[in-house]
A and B are shown apart, each in its own frame.
Chain A
Amino acid sequence: MTFVSRYWAVIVTWSVIILLLAGLYVASVVSPYWTTFLSGWLLFVFILALLTYNLLNRLPFVSLGASIDWFSFHVSAGLLTLVLFVLHVGLRAPNGLLEVTLTLLYAACAVSGIVGLILLHLLSRRLEMGGEAVSLERIPIIRERLREKIEGVVERTVSEDHSTVFADFHERQLASFLDGPRNYWSHLFGAPSSGRALLTDLEALDRGLEEKERERVEELRVLIHVKYGLDCQQTLQGTLKYWLFIHVPVAYSLLILSFVHTIVISVYTTG
């Protein structure tokens, strides 16, 4: 999108938002019913529009602008639905099974969306700063290769250096570290983890070792550091994908129940 078209897009978007808010204000002045009616319909339309982002992702051959622009629209419209929802429902507790379900679904969708947005903002930056990027699907293979390399180093210390220090260290700490992704929560929140502790323990071994063994320590330190980074990437990339397991299914369910709600309201409420 060029600068000019982006400029117009911003103007149009804000104009629409201002018009909507003005319309809602007028409705609220006239009657609570009008507010509910108008905000309800707008909310339904917005939920439909928000789902177009997901549909467009499924249809990559349809060129309707850059994905980043659609994403921006998705986020803006999603935040606007919060206002519409509050106007529509007011500050009262939901009532009736349909209302309760709708409210819970909307809350789950909105919260997961906001959490996803925050995660995207924070974790993307950490991923960018985390060195070489690997694809999530390749991480198990790369981890397996790393495991083989580390075990190769340990074997060589036994066969060539005749030292069991690293074998003991492997059996005691390394083996479980290499078995799979570790320290999910500490990676997610960027806290110091047992991986760091492992490196500290490895450096502690360094004090009573021969020169050659110290070279092995350096080799292992690099590999463990890589594994640590790989676990971090898996945590961050995985989290960025897994939150959608809540957001997307809940969004479609919300749309379906919103449609049912719209029919029911249209049939019963005419004022």
Chain B
Amino acid sequence: MRLQDDGFRDGQVAPPTRNWVCGRATEETACSNGPDEKGRCRVTMECVPVWEGARWHCSRISDGPCEDGPLPDGACCRSVPACQPIPSLLAVRRRITFWLSMVMVGLSLLFLSGPKGSAFFSPGELTFGHGASVEACADCHAAAHGDLVDRVFALGVSGTGQENSKLCLTCHHLGDHALEVHGRFPKELAVVTEGLSRMPQAADVPLFQDFSSWVLGLLETGEKQLACATCHGEHRGKNFNLLAMNAQQCQTCHARTFSDFANNHPPFSGYPYERRTRIAFDHTSHIGKHFFGEFKKDAPITCAACHRADAAGQTMRTGTFENICASCHAEQIEGVGQSGAKGFAFLRLPGLDLETLQEHGVSVGEWPADANFEDGLTPFMELLLGTDSAFAEDLAFLSGLDDFTDLSDATDKEIAAVGRIVWAVKRLVYNLVMRGQQEIVNRLQMTTNIGARKFADLFGQFPVEVIYAAQQNWLPHLAMELSGLEAGEAVVQLEDRDAEQEIRMDRERERKMMIGGWYRQDSEFAILYRPIGHADPFLYAWLDFTVQATGVKHGRSAEKIFTTLANPKAPGLCMKCHSVDAQAGQRKRIHWAAARPVADERKATRFTHAVHFSLLDDKGCLTCHTLNPEAEVMEAFEHTDPLTFSSNFRAMEKTVCATCHTSKRAGDTCLTCHNYHVGTMAPVLPNAPLTAPSPSTKRTTLIR
């Protein structure tokens, strides 16, 4: 049985692509024309008569020509009631599509321009920390200022990753080069990269990893700054770990890639001994040589006797001098058993060739004939006298003539200069007696920029009374002499005194100063300072002050002071243990303490000692730190370059770590041992303005 004899082309039913179909489409009476595009029925008559053969003919198709035929005017005689066209399925679908689309457009405009817009288009919750501290989108998004129109127009011209990242940095202090790769200065990073590039590429790097590196190499634009969002994707929920990074992400940028830590991570290079120790100390000799005889009882039994983990368990701290060194070294520092003077000469009358001076008609006035010290002025005196430019010129002139006790070969000019220097010394002594510490302040303030606190450290204990006593003994007519000189009167020389008696007295004075402090020695015409023990404040202040000649006009004098005090055999023995670093581009510095974590410093490699303690067997610390008996440790302290050294311990082997640090055991991701952001990163400090409550507020409070 055939069901459908006619198709769309037969005109009975409108094709499905039309928007309207005949209202009688489900009936046999459906018209062949169908509704127009606006959904209006177009049929009013059963046919449109045709003029043919000088008369009108009916053209009805459905049931054939009608019996009555057209009217005389050519109109159809049979009217048809109009139908009510209905929308086609396609039209209904289009209407639904249109209106649903309009709803979406309307909702979008409503929310985007409304005050609740951020809730509408926020892509997700912030992590807990950010959610608690961020108040508006603009806090983190540089382009989120202004209204919707402003933001749309801002597309492409603002809101770069770096701009957004700068907003991150208002709260997260990540050093001076925060957005540079690893937070390091590009040139510095280039050096590291160049070094790594020379290493051979691991053979078993996964193909995809190689491919990623290759593609990124092609995309390299020379832009060395990375936006924070490159690695830290926000809006992923309160508990999302913003710091999570996998090894592939790190290695994509690296010059040399590898598949895992155990197999082809680059070998450790001297780790963890990056530099010589700050305190000159030879573990091998201490363990093997020094603890014998009476010192045997003081020998440490384990490493823990001297080293303890810090509170965080990260670094191993060295104990204090008092706890671990003093039992053997305290008396050495105090000068017990030391031959020669136990103190530094701060001020000394230099020995003079008085005869030659007299022969050349240079009068130095009263001067002890038995003053015979050959090394001229002390560096402290040079520093104080050097503030006088005339003196400085004379001293420079006499740079090749340090010994004033023999002036036989000196020229007239040199002898005259010696004479002027002697009077300068006498004036200094006189002024120190008369004005005391004020004289020092007056002299040094002219040429240095040291502050009041530093003055106190350097000269706070200066013994005016000792100077006075010395002047009374050595140059008793100094005041008269100086006034006489000014009046043009002749001056006299002091006669010889009882030298043996003076030496005995000097020894007595030094013995009495066994705890340390200032004293004079008449036999040498010197004012000395004996260190009071470890961490002597006078030596500490002068060494720290003079280690850098910067800020002092007469740097040469400062350097001489430092050289004198820094002699490993000098009283105090400071520099026997405390090393001095002088690296290119960095300030010279003395290490007064053993290594300790630098506040807010993040290194590229991190290690937490405490969590590894429970894994150690009987070898304990020696599992990782193996002594190297061949190392010439102390040679590294004969110079000032901390990076040229020989460690007491052999460098660690990677296999020690790789025993446990695999992907299946303790983990071997990059961030297990490395920090991405390196450098010094101070925490964010609150910036609350200090404002006093206004009087009106106070009053109101009181009234209430």
Which A residues form the contact surface with B (CB < 8 A)?
A: 22-23, 25-26, 29-34, 36, 90, 92, 94-99, 132, 134-138, 140-142, 144-145, 222, 226, 230, 241, 244-245, 248-250, 252-253, 256-257, 260-261, 263-271
Contact = CB atoms under 8 A, between A and B. Distances in A.
Nearest to A253: B104
B669 interface: no
Interface in B1-42: 1-4, 6-8, 12-14, 16, 21, 25-28, 30
A57 to B, nearest CB: 9
B405 interface: no
A95 to B, nearest CB: 4
A216 B154 CA distance: 81
Contact of B124 (A99, A241, A260): A99
Contacts of A244: 93
Contacts of A241: 89
Contacts of A265: 123
A233 B160 CA distance: 59
Interface in B122-176: 122-125, 137, 141-144, 151-152, 154-156, 159-161, 163-164
Contacts of A263: 152, 155
Interface stretch (B44-52, B229-237, B425-433): B229-237
A261 to B, nearest CB: 7
Contact of A29 (B2, B124, B212, B230): B212
Contacts of B159: 267-268, 270
Given A98-B121, A252-B100, A144 B27 contact: yes
In the A-B complex, the 5 residue pairs with the smallest Cβ-Cβ separation, listed nearest first, are: A271-B229, A95-B124, A140-B26, A96-B122, A249-B97
B100 A92 contact: no
Interface in B274-332: none
B119 A267 contact: no
A32 B16 CA distance: 48
* B96, B123, B211 — most chain A CB neighbours (10 Å): B123
Given A135-B7, A261-B121, A252 B97 contact: yes
20 contacts: A26-B212, A30-B252, A31-B231, A92-B237, A94-B124, A95-B122, A95-B235, A96-B121, A98-B123, A144-B28, A245-B93, A249-B93, A249-B96, A252-B97, A253-B100, A253-B103, A256-B105, A263-B155, A268-B144, A270-B159
Nearest to B7: A135
Contacts of A260: 108, 112, 121
Contact of A230 (B3, B121, B125, B160): B3
B3 A226 contact: yes
Contacts of A22: 211, 215
A271 B97 contact: no
Given A96-B121, A245-B93, 17 more contacts: A25-B211, A26-B252, A29-B252, A92-B237, A95-B122, A97-B119, A134-B4, A137-B13, A144-B27, A248-B93, A248-B97, A249-B97, A257-B104, A263-B152, A267-B143, A269-B229, A270-B227
Interface string B199-242: 00000000011011001100000000001111101011100000
A255 to B, nearest CB: 8
Interface in B72-107: 89, 92-93, 96-97, 100-101, 103-105
A75 B235 CA distance: 32
Given A95-B235, A268-B141, A135 B155 contact: no
Given A25-B208, A137-B13, A256 B101 contact: yes
Contacts of A134: 3-4
A266 B158 CA distance: 10
B248 interface: yes
Contacts of B125: 95
Given A26-B212, A137-B14, A96 B123 contact: yes
A135 B17 CA distance: 13
Given A34-B230, A269-B229, A26 B26 contact: no
Nearest to B144: A268
A271 B230 contact: yes
A32 B246 CA distance: 11
Contacts of A96: 119-124
A136 B108 CA distance: 38
B249 interface: yes
Given A26-B211, A97-B111, A266-B155, A142 B124 contact: no
A99 B93 contact: no
A257 B103 CA distance: 11
B77 to A, nearest CB: 27
Contacts of A266: 155-156
A31 B28 CA distance: 67
B119 to A, nearest CB: 7
A209 to B, nearest CB: 23
B471 to A, nearest CB: 76
* A29, A144, A245 — most chain B CB neighbours (10 Å): A29
Nearest to B1: A226
Nearest to A32: B233
B108 A257 contact: yes
A86 B339 CA distance: 83
Contacts of B103: 253
A33 B229 contact: yes
A135 B13 contact: yes
B120 to A, nearest CB: 5
* A34, A226, A261, A267 — most chain B CB neighbours (10 Å): A267
Interface in B678-701: none
B26 A25 contact: no
A94 to B, nearest CB: 8
A4 to B, nearest CB: 32
Contacts of B164: 270-271
Contact of A36 (B156, B216, B233, B253): B233
Contacts of A245: 92-93, 96
A25 B211 CA distance: 10
Contacts of B124: 92, 94-96, 99
Nearest to B240: A92
Given A95-B124, A137-B16, A268 B137 contact: yes
B115 to A, nearest CB: 14
Contacts of B122: 95-96, 98-99
Given A132-B4, A141-B30, A99 B144 contact: no
B554 to A, nearest CB: 56
A250 B103 CA distance: 12
A138 B227 contact: no
Contacts of B137: 268
Contacts of A31: 229-231, 233, 249
Given A134-B3, A263-B152, A29 B209 contact: yes
